[in-house]
Structure 1
Amino acid sequence: MASFEDRVQKAVDARDIPGIVLLASDVNGNFKYEKAFGPKTPTEPLGLNATFILASCTKLMTTIAALQCVERGQIGLDDPVSAILPELKEKEIITGFNEDGSLTYRKAKNEITLRHLLSHSSGLGYHTMDPRYHKWRKERGETFFIKGWSIIPRINTPLLFEPGTSWAYGTGLDWAGILVSRLNKMNLEQYMQKYIWAPLGIKNITFHQEDHEDVRKNLTKMSIRKGLENPMFGFPVRSEEKVDWTDETLYDIPIADEYGGEGAIGSATEFFKILQSILEDDGKLLTSETIEEMFSPQLSEGGVKALDEYNALPFYQGGAFASVQNGTKVTWGLGGLLFLEDYFTGRKRGTLTWSGMASWTIDRETGICALYAGNMLPFGDFASGDMQIKFEKEMYARAVKRSML
C-alpha cells in the first residue's frame, strides 16, 4: 500500500495539486512533521524555506495583535471602536431595494466593538462575496479591483446587518489592523515585528515583500487550475484539469497599505511558530486567560445560524478547501472557526482553524497543530481540499501512535 508521502508526491508530480509544504507537531515535542513536496517554480523544487501568500492566515496574527492591545488596557473587547476608527461611527446598513432597484439603507443602532471586528459579527462583509456590494459600488460609479486601491476606500463599506446580530466573513480584521496601528502609533508591519515576530524568532514574514529579499526570492510561484472561466478569483469546480503556472501576484508590489485580514507573505515554517506558541500556551504572545478567550464561542444565536448557512452553501458542501461538513456544530472564536464537536479528520471539540492560501489547525484537546501551505488560485480548490483532509487525518493518526510509544 502506498504511503501518504507517495500519494502526495504522485499528486504533485501529476500536477493534480501544486507544490505544498506540510507541517505538524504536538504540544510535548514528541511528534514533529516537516516536508515539502513538488515545485516552487517551473525550474525550482520547493523547500521548507519557501514563502507563500498567507492571505487570510494573516487574520490570526492580527487577532493576536489586537488581543495584545486588550491585555495592555488600550481597548476592551466590548468597547466601541469608533473613537479609534471614526470611519465606523454611525454606519448605514443595506436593508433592501427600492422599486427602481436602487439600494435602501438605515442607520445602525448598535456600535461596532472590537469583538465584532475579530469575530466577523460587525456587519462588514467582503465585496467579492456579496452582490449587494457590487450594486453599491455600481451606484457610486465605482469599479472594484483587487489591486490598485488604498485600504480605506476598499474596506469602508456599508454594513450587511446590525452589529452583533449575525455573521458574515469580511473586512473586520483589516479594520482591526488599522486599529492596532493607530493605538500604537506604528504601522502594522512594525507592530508585528516588535510584538509577534521577534519574540518567536520569525524573520521571513512581511506585508512588504518589496523590502524583504529573502521573502521575495523564496516566494512560491502562483498556480491556477486549467479550464476555469475565471481561474484567478472565480469559484473552483471539480474537474480533471491539471494545475498550471500563472504570473498573478495577487497583491500590488510595492504595496502601500498593510491589510490585517489578508496581506501577509511569508515562510510556512515561521508562521507555524505562531501556531505552536498558542498551542503550547508559552506566554510569548498572549496570556493563558486571553488564549482561553480565543477558544471560546463568540457569536450570538443569529451569528451561529448565519455561519451554518454559509457552511451549507453548495460550494462548501462540494468539498472546497478547508470546508466543513454540513451539520457540524461550529461557531467563531477569536482568530478562526471554532468546533463545538469532534470532527472526522481527528479534530476534537474546541479546535480552532481557518485557511487562506494555507490552512491551519490548533487542537488543544489532542495537543496538535498543523499547517497545509500552497499557492493556489482560485481560493477553495477542491483537489487541494481533498489533500488537506488526507494530510490532517494522517497527522492525527501518526501523532496518536507516537504518543502511545
Structure 2
Amino acid sequence: MTVSLPTISPEQQHALQAVLDEFGKTLPGCSLTVASDSNVLFDGRSGKFDALEEETDSPRAASKEDVLWFASTTKLITSVAYLQLVDQGTLTLDSDLSEYYPPLREATRRVFRGTDDQGQPIWEDSHTAVTLRMMLNQTSGFGMEFLEGVQGWKSYSGKGTGFVNSCKVDNLIHTPIVEQPGVQFQYGNSAEWLGLILPHIVNQSTEDYMQQHIFQPLGMRKTTFYPFGPEFKSRLMPLRFYDNEKREWQVLDQQMPGLTLPRSREEIEYPVAGGGIYSTSTDYTKLLQELLKLFRTSPNAYPKGALLSRESVQSLFQGSLPESAKGLLAHVMNMRPPQPGDAAATGEWDWSTGMVVWTPADGRRLGKDTAAKEGGWGRRASSVGWFGAAGTMYFIDPESNLTFVCTTQMLPGDHPSVSTMRNALEKQVYVSLQA
C-alpha cells in the first residue's frame, strides 16, 4: 500500500492546539496525538489535571506525563496478546478456551433466555462452543452488563451481582451467555474473560505478559493495569464525575458504579482486559503506529520477529461479523453517531478481531457533509478504531496513513461536549493535512 507521507505544518499545528485549548477550558485532561506510521505529527495537551481545581487560582495543567484511564481501548491490546498466541501456534482462532479455564465451559454451555412467569430461568442449550474468534469479535454470546439479559440473570441468581469493572472474579464467572455463540453482536465481557484466562495459557500474569511482549518492545513505558506505585503517584489523573443538572464537577463515588475501577492494586483480583488499562495518548499511539506500519508493509518486505504476523495484522483491519450480527452493531454505533442525524445503515460498521471497522458500501468518509469531498469530513472507509468510557477515542485510517488518539478524563464520557470535542479535532486534523 503506497500512500504519501502526511504532514502538518507549524501553522496547522497551532490551529490544532487552538481547538484543543478551546475544549480544555471546560474539560480536564484533553490530549490529542496524531501520527503517520513513521512520524508523530502532533502531540498536544490542554485543560486541567484535576477538574475539581477549576476554582483555584493556579490549577495544575494537564501534561504529557499524566496517565489516564483508557477504558475499553484496552480491548485492542488484549486482541494483540491473543493474536500473538495464534501466531505462535499455541492457539487458533477456532480454539475453545474453556480447555484452559473450566468456568468458561459452565458459563457457555447453555443460553439464559430470561425467566418465566414463576420467576424461574429459561434455558436454551448452546449450539456450539465459544471460540477465540467469537471472543475477539464480540459474538461470544456474553451480554452487555447494563442490559436486560445480564441484569435479569444477576437479579435471579444472586451470584456475582456486582459489575465487572470491580475487578472481582465472582462478578464475571457466574454470568452465563445470553445469545447463541457466533450469531449476534453483544458488547459484553468477552475481553474480561480473556484477561482472566491468559495467565492459565502463558504461565505469567496478564500484566507481565503484556509488558514483556507488547508494551516494552514498543516503548510504551506509561501503560499498565496498575498505575499505583511511586512512579505514578503524582501522574495518575483523577477521574471526576460531571453532574449535568447541577453543572458541577464532583468526586467520583457511586454515581456510575458500573464504570468505576478500583484505585489500588490490592483491590484488583484480576485486570479487566476489556477496560482496565491506563496509558497516555502518546504511548497508545505507538501501538497504533506499529499496527499501521505492519498493515501497510508488503508480504515480501514483512519484518521477521514483528509484533504480529501479517495474517493477524490483516485480521485486525477486516470485518469478521456474520450478517446476523451487523444490525445490533449498527444500533450500538448509532447511539452516538459522529453528528446528529448521521446514522449508519446495517452493514456500514463491522467488527474485526479487535476493533470496529467503518465499511460504508458507497466508500464515503465518516461525518455526513454533502458539500465535502467523498461525502464526509473525517476518517476514510476501512478505518478502524474504538472508544473508552472516560472520553478516549482512537482510530487508524490506513488510506490516509494516519493514527488519531484523543482523550479527556471524566464520567460520563459520552457527555455531548466530549463528542463535540472529538468531532472538532477530527475535522481539524483532516483540514490540517490538506492545508
The normalised TM-score by structure 1 is: 0.86
Task: Select the residue among 23, 30, 55 that pairs with 1:20.
Answer: 30
Matches within 5 A, 1:337-348: 337-341=356-360, 342-344=365-367, 345-348=377-380
- 1:370 corresponds to 2:404: yes
Aligned to 2:187: 169
One of 55, 65, 69 as aligned partner of 2:71? 55
Q: 1:39 maps to which residue?
A: 48
Determine the structure 1 residue equivalent to 2:332: 310
What is the DSSP-based 3-state SS (H/G/I as helix, E as strand, rest coil) of the residue aligned with 1:217? coil
Change (3 A) 1:121 1:380: same
Following superposition, the deviation at residue 184 of structure 1 comes to 0.7
Aligned length: 379
Summarize the alignment of residues 387-398 of structure 1 with structure 2, pairs less than 5 Å apart. 387-398=421-432
Correspondence for 1:224: 241
Q: How far has the Cα of 1:391 moved from its partner?
A: 0.7
Local SS of the residue matching 2:213: helix
Q: Return the offset for 1:262.
A: 0.8
Unaligned runs of 5+ in 2: 1-13, 54-58, 254-258, 298-302, 368-376
Deviation at 1:275, TM superposition (A): 0.9
The one of 282, 304, 314 aligned to 1:269? 282
Question: 1:1-400 counterparts in 2 under 5 A?
Answer: 3-13=15-25, 15=26, 17-29=27-39, 32-41=41-50, 42=53, 43-89=59-105, 90-127=108-145, 129-142=146-159, 143-145=161-163, 148=166, 150-210=168-228, 212-228=229-245, 242=247, 244-248=249-253, 250-252=260-262, 253-254=264-265, 255-281=268-294, 284-312=306-334, 315-317=335-337, 325-327=343-345, 329-341=348-360, 342-344=365-367, 345-356=377-388, 357=390, 358-400=392-434
CA contact (8 A) 1:69 1:180 kept: no
**SS of corresponding position for 2:49:** strand
Contact 2:190 2:274 in 1 (8 A): yes
What amino acid sits opposite 1:37 in the alignment?
A: S
Letter of the aligned partner of 1:387 in structure 2? Answer: M
Note the C-alpha offset of 1:217.
Answer: 2.0
Query: 1:83 deviation in Å?
Result: 0.8
Look up the equivalent residue of 2:32 and give its one-letter code. L
Q: Counterparts of 1:301 and 1:372 in 2: how far apart (Å)?
A: 31
User: Does the 8 Å contact 2:20/2:31 carry over to 1?
Assistant: no
Distance (whole Å) between structure 2 residues aligned to residue 346 and residue 26 of structure 1 = 16
Q: Per-residue deviation at 1:209?
A: 1.9
- In the aligned structure 1, how far is the partner of 2:127 from the partner of 2:320? 20
Give 3-state SS (helix, strand or coil) of 1:206's partner.
Answer: coil
> Alpha carbons of 1:293 and 1:374: their partners in 2 closer, same or farther (altered >3 Å)?
same
Give the deviation of 1:269 after TM superposition. 1.3
Structure 1 residue runs of 5 or longer lacking an equivalent are 229-240
Aligned residue type for 2:419: G
Letter in 2 for 1:244: W
- The CA distance in 1 between the partners of 2:170 and 2:109, in whole Å, is 14
Report the CA distance between 1:278 and its aligned residue: 0.7
2:163–2:171 Cα contact (<8 Å) kept? no
Cα distance, 1:149 vs. partner? Answer: 5.3
Query: 1:68, CA displacement in angstroms?
Result: 0.2
Give percent identity, aligned residues only.
22
RMSD: 2.4
Letter in structure 1 aligned against 2:142: L
CA separation of 1:326 and 1:349: change in aligned 2, threshold 3 A: closer
Q: Give the letter for the 1:298 counterpart.
A: S
Q: Cα deviation per residue 1:339-378 (whole Å; 9 max; x = unaligned)?
A: 1133234212211110113111011111100001121102
Give the superposition deviation at 1:134.
1.6
Partners of 2:150 and 2:132 in 1: CA distance = 23
Structure 2 CA distance for partners of 1:147 and 1:58, relative to 1, 3 Å: closer
Give 1:86 deviation, angstroms.
Answer: 1.9
Query: For 1:68 and 1:145, how far apart are their aligned partners in 2?
Result: 29
Q: CA-to-partner distance for each residue in 1:204-258, whole Å, 9 max, x for gaps?
A: 1111122x33334211222322235xxxxxxxxxxxx746242459322122311
Deviations 1:118-177 (A, max 9, x none): 0000001232x2122222111123542466552254244111211111100011111222
